[in-house]
Amino acid sequence: MSTKPASRDSIELANDDFKLEDFLPFRLSVAASSVSRLMARRLTDAHGISIAEWRVLTMVGRYGTLSPSVVGERTAMDKVKVSRAAASLVARGMIKQSQDPADGRGRLLRLTRKGANVFQGSIPLAHDLESELANGLSRGEWTALQKALARLGAHVQAIDEPDALEAAD
């Protein structure tokens, strides 16, 4: 028994009014991916590192010594991605990994001299890209975007963790 594919005319669309390209989470994702690709090309060209490696390097560079789990929390990266990026940076001599004296199973990450140089060299790339992005908007639009992103992030967190808000009250 064969089944014929239904024609478009015979399929009743439940949500004719929904357009993925107008859906805010999709638009944010597309914009973030586009910006990440720009930054990734610059990081690869200048330092031979990926976005994930740069995020790990930057967090460790900013805060000194961090556990991979803290890096993951602060960068919204999953454990596997942090682990792979850290392993790559260790293998390339940019990060040193040591045992956490407070937790025998835990690990701590810290920059090596080479990692510190790459971290410092990446800062102007980040500032330059941010300036290029800001140039596409008026000063007021840029300020409004920064404020809106902060408020949206806080609101998403409140939706995702409603108990955290109640505990803070």
What is the value of pTM for the model shown? 0.81
CA 115 distance to own-chain centroid: 20
76 pLDDT higher than 60: yes
The whole-number pLDDT of residue 90 equals: 97
Q: How far apart are CA 8 and CA 82, in angstroms?
A: 44
Work out the pLDDT band at 103, boundaries 50, 70, 90. confident
Q: How far apart are CA 82 and CA 91, in angstroms?
A: 14
The whole-number pLDDT of residue 161 equals: 87
Strand partners, 110: 96
CB neighbourhood size of 90 (10 A): 16
Q: Are 100 and 108 in contact (CB under 8 A)?
A: yes
3 pLDDT higher than 60: no
Q: How far apart are CA 73 and CA 96, in angstroms?
A: 20
For the stretch 123-166, pLDDT in tens is: 999 999 999 999 999 999 999 999 999 999 999 999 998 775 55
Strand partners, 100: 103
